[in-house]
Structure 1
Amino acid sequence: MNPSCSNNNERKNRHKQRCQIAMHREEKSSSSSGVLPKRIIVVRHGESQGNLDPGAYTVTPDHKIPLTPQGISQALSTGSRIRHVISSSSSSPDWRVYFYVSPYTRTRSTLRELAKSFSKKRVIGVREECRIREQDFGNFQVQERMDAIKETRQRFGRFFYRFPEGESAADVFDRVSSFLESMWRDIDMNRLNHNPSNDLNLIIVSHGLASRVFLMRWFRWTVEQFELLNNFGNCEFRVMQLGSGGEYSLAVHHTDEELLEWGLSPDMVADQKWRAHGSKAPSNDQSPRCLEAFFDLITDSDDESVDTEDETDSLSECSRQ
């Protein structure tokens, strides 16, 4: 058989497979019974002993580092602020919350304090989730060595630099991506036992880097954009709220000034504002601004005719065999 004929058949088979996959995804999406959360709120833990004194890591395992009294106070105050955000802008008075929490002592303690602002009626569940734990920094026992390693990470980039015997932000990205897929299955299959007539609010109590990576994964930010982001302050939170067009956006609740202060570029802020009001189709990923970030030059001319002629010639040659 002529190689060009074989290539044409392979292209057709690949196209057919892509169509079948797309149809399967569309059917899965249309059959989904889950109700989208009104908000997804990402919270960093309160001030910990390690934030106050880095030497704490030399005598206490990272996962057992406790909150300081100030951290406990921050968490209690944050719970009140989050409740106000939810209650003041919910379409239904019967709103509910569901919590995901990192298994570390400081995140669990933060959850206990901020949950005091919610009655049992409001809380439909909580799940400890190991995949949103803190980045593994390796062995903290020698503080001088760890300080030098963190300085090296700052010079070489926070996303790909892997701590000796620990993780890089890219490693955290992989496990946070896995968590995100599970979270969507929880919603689609209504594992949260949520009444669709009530506004659902997901609250994720995690750590600074894991929270930034979660937002990066959700909004499909590039590594370059991730490097711009500032860490969450202790007990700071970000509200991703469902916009009028069906997209989640930070710009529904947060101001432009806040987004810029957190390290988002003007283009990233513009995208958040689009998500607050834009429609899901066409995808904003195909906007000229997005394409220009990856390509030096995109011409307006269309060269498909050349490909079509090549394919026609190959088909003609096949028919003559």
Structure 2
Amino acid sequence: MQENNHNRNHHQHHSWKPLPKRIILVRHGESEGNLDTSAYSTIPDHQISLTELGHAQARLAGSHLRDLISCHGSSSDWRVYFYVSPYERTRSTLREIGKSFSKKRVIGVREECRIREQDFGNFQVEERMRVIKETREKFGRFFYRFPEGESAADVFDRVSSFLESLWRDIDLNRLHIDPTQDFNLIIISHGLACRVFLMKWFKWTVEQFELLNNLGNCEIRVMELGHSGEYSLAIHHTDEELLEWGLSAEMIEDQKWRINANRADSNDHSSCYLNSFFNHQLDSDDEDVKEVDIDSYDDTKKMV
């Protein structure tokens, strides 16, 4: 009996872990490439810098993030941890955002290559890239792979790998989360990487991904921890915002469910997606199922 109690306590100790109160995705500020696509023909993608407006957008985003975290927390003692793409425009965005946070509030910063921009291949020929992007729109944004580059599916794979590492960091408390503090993860990345991050996290289908609109420059997506351990976009964002971003009514309903959802119930809740794959439902295993004629089955096997 004592051994069973010890095992139960041991399991509870190791199954509990402090979680970030928020995971916040931020797209970089306006870049020279956003302003003029011909910039890609002379400057490597990872070296494209922010415009003056982009710097201003990032500073404003930093102020907004600090207000969001400090004014909507359960504790006045809060901390942040940053992940950033290695591209110049994301690193510059982080520098501007960082001006709103004192060193006391920042636990750490990590450059993470797996959340970099989608590789679009050879940008040198501008007209060729224009035609290729038009072709992508015809064939679908998720599976279409740019010549010498990546598809959104490729980005999904490396973002998924990053998420696995992130969960290990949280599970082993490598981020040094103090349960008495409100802990916030801020990920500064790119539009597509942010969308596939959400797709992976919320288990959205390819069809649902195709509905999503890109984030604007320095636009944010706040995933906040619900009462029972699930993250939801619906805690911080309104229905109108979610609709504007391309979420369907079903996806929005799922976000609302997550606010009070128990993680253990997620498998039952996922049954709502069955209608996407099956056009009938059976009340029991026996209903509408015809008996199999064993003799006919044996005869069929002999014919094969």
Same fold (TM over 0.5): yes
C-alpha displacement of 1:69: 0.2
Amino acid at match of 2:110: R
More deviation in 231-240 or 189-198?
189-198
Cross-structure match for 1:186: 169
Amino acid at match of 2:68: V
2:219 counterpart of 1:241: no
- Classify 1:28/1:106 alpha carbon distance in 2 versus 1 (closer, same or farther; 3 Å): farther
CA distance in 2, matches of 1:183, 1:281: 21
CA distance in 1, matches of 2:167, 2:11: 13
Contact in 2 for aligned 1:241/1:250 (Cα 8 Å): yes
More deviation in 122-131 or 183-192?
183-192
Cross-structure match for 1:204: 187
2:281 counterpart of 1:298: yes
Cross-structure match for 1:264: 247
SS of alignment partner, residue 265 of structure 2: coil
Contact in 2 for aligned 1:43/1:238 (Cα 8 Å): yes
Cross-structure match for 1:173: 156
Tell me the alpha carbon deviations over residues 80-137 of structure 1, each in whole angstroms, 9 at most, x when there is no partner: 1111111111111110000000000000000000111110110000000000000000
Give the one of 84, 90, 105 matched to 1:107: 90
Amino acid at match of 2:260: H
- Classify 1:115/1:32 alpha carbon distance in 2 versus 1 (closer, same or farther; 3 Å): farther
- 1:94-243 to structure 2, matched below 5 A, reads 94-243=77-226
Give the one of 70, 73, 77 matched to 1:90: 73
- Classify 1:247/1:110 alpha carbon distance in 2 versus 1 (closer, same or farther; 3 Å): same
CA distance in 1, matches of 2:280, 2:92: 52
CA distance in 1, matches of 2:20, 2:133: 37
C-alpha displacement of 1:303: 3.2
* Count of residue pairs the alignment pairs up: 282
C-alpha displacement of 1:301: 2.4
CA distance in 1, matches of 2:44, 2:91: 15
CA distance in 1, matches of 2:252, 2:268: 14
Tell me the alpha carbon deviations over residues 260-292 of structure 1, each in whole angstroms, 9 at most, x when there is no partner: 000000000000010112222321564442111
TM-score normalised per structure 2:
0.89
Q: Unpaired runs of 5+ in structure 1?
A: 1-26, 307-321
CA distance in 2, matches of 1:188, 1:302: 40
Tell me the alpha carbon deviations over residues 13-39 of structure 1, each in whole angstroms, 9 at most, x when there is no partner: xxxxxxxxxxxxxx9886146310000
Tell me the alpha carbon deviations over residues 133-162 of structure 1, each in whole angstroms, 9 at most, x when there is no partner: 000000000000000000000010000000
Contact in 2 for aligned 1:32/1:189 (Cα 8 Å): no
Q: What is the percentage of aligned positions where both structures have the same residue?
A: 72
CA distance in 2, matches of 1:283, 1:126: 32
SS of alignment partner, residue 140 of structure 1: coil
CA distance in 2, matches of 1:203, 1:28: 30
- Please give the root-mean-square deviation of Cα atoms over the aligned residues, in Å: 2.0
2:31 counterpart of 1:48: yes
Q: Unpaired runs of 5+ in structure 2?
A: 1-9, 290-304
Contact in 2 for aligned 1:33/1:189 (Cα 8 Å): no
Cross-structure match for 1:314: none
CA distance in 2, matches of 1:31, 1:108: 36
Cross-structure match for 2:259: 276
SS of alignment partner, residue 117 of structure 1: coil
CA distance in 2, matches of 1:152, 1:31: 50
SS of alignment partner, residue 93 of structure 1: coil
CA distance in 2, matches of 1:141, 1:30: 55
CA distance in 1, matches of 2:268, 2:147: 36
